[in-house]
Structure formats: structure tokens, C-alpha cells
Amino acid sequence: MTSPYDLVVLGGGPGGYRAAELAGKAGMRVALVEKDRLGGMCLNRGCIPTKSYYARLLRGRGSVEHLWEEKEAVVSKLREGLATLLRMSGVEVFEGIGSILETGELKTLEVVDASGTKRLLRGRTLLLATGSRSLSLDIEGADLPGVLPGDRAVADPDLWKSPEHRRVTSVALIGAGVIAVELAELLRSLGKDVTILKHSEELLRRADRDIKKKLVQHFKKRGIRMVDSFCPQRITLEDGALRVQGTSREAPEEVRCDRLILASSMVPVLDGFGLERTRIARTPQGSIAVDEHMQTTEPGVYAVGDVTGGMMLAHLAEYQALVAVEHLRGNRVAIPPESVPWCVFADPEIAAVGFSEQEAEKRGISVVVGRAFFLGNGMALAMGETEGFVKVVAGKDGTLLGVHMMGAESSCMIAEAALALRQGMHVRDVAYTVHPHPTLSECFKDALFRALEELRNL
């Protein structure tokens, strides 16, 4: 019998492939099982495709006419690079559906490939990275043609490929989170009539209130319609168009559209891989429960990424993989949740890390706030990108608690703030770090100095 692997990874998305790569480079014998395509949802139907659209539709880079083809080229190149990386790291990749058979001293996984051929893999350690899927609607008509889960909508040529996409003139999105906001921006830029059907009165529930307010204003200017407190009840197909019926603030509401995208939230993938044959505990929310090392309640079984719930972010999944593999090697790495940044690729970009002003208030933390606007930033003026601001939230002792940005290149600038929060830095220390001129980062610096002024006035 072939000797067991040191690590068997189930799932080839950001968390799974990163864990496999790191373990392979550390000298472990590693097997990775993926049922679809390497890179998971992020690479094939999420982060990368939408950023390819974003670069062309909102940033003016590349061809809008060849939007689909250029996206496919980007995804294909990255997928090929990932396969090479895993091969160079000594990782054996198996294509097929993996299912847990045993989780004793040796973990056993059955893999069934597309031809029906079965193979058994045995490993001393198992890492689950099965990801998430779009939450479905349990109402009449949810299975009609033209009703698309958020992740599948990203990879639908009828929405993005020329000339097919021109046949779709109107799109409605159920949801108000990152997926809904990004897709609304992109589809509006393609000339579609866009309606966002929100569960509440908010966009981006986790965002600071100043960003929410600015985003609503921006969407109104863009002609994106928003329906608050929408509760869907029924979907029908009439004369080739979808008719979405429901209520808004207890009053009847109806929207007609060519496509309806279910973009409300993602849920962990917990079925189809034998989880029921284990003693792995789940959280009250239903995701796989893990400790600070990403260990499940089953000895020798780890879980990373969206399947563990919480902030479902590709970059967090990668760092959770780092935590798990380092623990396997006898090392301890911690990822403080408050230091994990998140981004929204709207126009302008949105990025945040740490507490919002409202979160701090709910926790009973007294704060000071500093703001600076891109309208007063030299580089933003030179670029013609003056919309937005940076907001700094600090404790009364000067400790940086949160940073919130809405403006050009916010997704890049937030990394500095994430480092400062991770290190528990004082506002003064970050403000006194020299920021180059002329750059957009000076807007962050200015917000920090405004917060310092507020601290001195206490």
C-alpha cells in the first residue's frame, strides 16, 4: 500500500491551494482534491473575473468590446500559473469529487473522477476548504431561467459577452452586500437598467455610516434604483421577462427585469463530501467550528476559508491556511480579526479595517474621529479622482481602532492601515511616518493628523 500523505486538502480555492503550496514547500507530502477547476470560486467565478470587468468598465483599461474574452484570458493564465505553482511545490492534484470515509488516525478520502473511477487517498492530516455558495431563494419561481446565483452570474456570457449581453437590458439584484454593490456598478456601466432589492434600508451593512451615506448618493447619481426592505414572494416569467413580486415596508412591490441575480449572501458548502460521517462540530450559524489554529473538533482535521463562516474573504482564507500549516509545523501564528481588511471595487473604491465609529459606540468605547477628503489631495486632483474621503477612528488613548476609505486606490492603501492596527499602533506613530508627495496616501496621513488634533483638544 502507498504510504499515506502528510496532508490531504479537500478544495482547490484560495484556502486549499495556499495550504497545499505551503505544506509542499515545507517538505510535506501533499494531495489536493478539486472537483471543478483550480482556484475555486474566487478565481473562476468571483474576485478575478469581476476585477477584470472592473478594470475595463470602470478604470478604462483594456477593451469593453472584448470584455468576456479578456476576462477568460486572465482567468486561464492565472489557473495555469496556479497548476505550475502546485506542481513545483510537490503537490499532487486529483480532479474529482472527494468524500470523507474515515477520520481516525489515518484520514481516508474517496475521490471519484469524471469517468467514475474511484481512488482512495489516505493522510495523517486532513484540511477542509470546500468554500461557499450563493444563498438560494425558497420561493415560487426561484428556479426559472434567468434567475442566477451571484457567483454564477459573474460567469454568464449572456451578461458580459458581446454581442449577447446587449439582449439583456434590465437586471435586478436581491441583496445589499459587496457582491450586489460590485455587480450593480459593473452592469450599470454596461448600460443596463439596474435595481437593487435590499433586505433592509442599508447598503453594505458592515460599512461605516459615512460610507453608506456616500454610496447611496453615488448610486442615485448613477441611476441605480434601490428598493428598501424588500421581501420577495414570487417570481414569474411573462412575455420573456421576469416579474418579481414582493413587499416593501409591508406595501406591494413589483419589479420587471430580464435577469434576477441572487446576491444576498453566501453560505458554507457543508454537503456532498461526507461531513456527516465525522464528529466535527458546527457553530450556531451552521459553519464548521474551528479553534485559533483552524483545528476542528476532530483530531487531525483542519478547516479554512468560507466553510468556517465569518468574514468570507479570499485573502482571509489564505492567511487561515498559513495559520493551519504553521500549526502543523509546530509554530503559532495568529490573525487578529480586527486587523483583516475588506474592499469593495465600486467607483470609487471602498476599503476598511477595524471598528467603524458605530461598532466602537456599541462596545462602549469612546472615540475620536479624523476625516480628510480627496478633493484637497494633489494627486487626486491631478488624476481627476476627487470623490471620497478617509476616516480614522481612534480610542481616547490614541490607539488606532479603525480606518475607512472611499476613493481611488483605497484597496491598496488600506494595507498600511491593516498593518498599523495589527501592531496596535498609536495614531501619532502612523501620522509621523513620512508619506510621499504627491500621493493619494497623503489623504490617510491628513485624516490621522486631524484625529491627533481631536486628541489634543480632549
CB 98 within 8 A of CB 35: yes
CA distance 264 to 259: 15
Q: How far is CA 259 from CA 156, 157, 176, 372, in A?
A: 11, 13, 17, 40
DSSP helix/strand/coil, 33: strand
Q: Which residues of 215-232 are buried (b: 16+ CB within 10 A; e: fewer)?
A: bbebbeeeebebbbbbeb
Q: Distance from CA of residue 113 to its chain's centroid?
A: 29
CA distance 175 to 185: 14
Catalytic residue among 165, 218, 404, 437: 437
- Smallest CA-to-CA distance from 47 within 304, 268, 312 is with 312
Q: Please write down the long-range contacts of 318-322, taking CB distance under 8 Å and 24 or more positions apart.
A: 318/14, 318/15, 318/18, 320/15, 320/294, 321/14, 321/15, 321/16, 321/18, 321/19, 321/22, 321/127, 321/129, 321/294, 322/18, 322/22
- Smallest CA-to-CA distance from 364 within 373, 353, 355 is with 355
- Smallest CA-to-CA distance from 389 within 402, 371, 363 is with 371
Q: Is 94 buried (19+), middle (13-18) or exposed (0-12) by CB count in 10 A?
A: middle
Grid cell at residue 147: 434567475
Residue 437 a catalytic site member: yes
CB 368 within 8 A of CB 394: yes
CA distance 270 to 22: 25
CA distance 6 to 27: 9
Q: How far is CA 197 from CA 158, 211, 334, 408, 423, in A?
A: 21, 19, 38, 27, 40
CB 273 within 8 A of CB 10: yes
Tally the C-alpha atoms within 13 A of residue 103's C-alpha that lie toward its C-beta. 20
CB 10 within 8 A of CB 126: yes
The per-residue DSSP string of 76-127 comes to: HHHHHHHHHHHHHTTEEEEESEEEEEEESSSEEEEEE-TT--EEEEEES-EE
Q: Which residues of 389-407 are buried (b: 16+ CB within 10 A; e: fewer)?
A: bbbbbbbeebebbbbbbbb
Catalytic machinery residues: 437
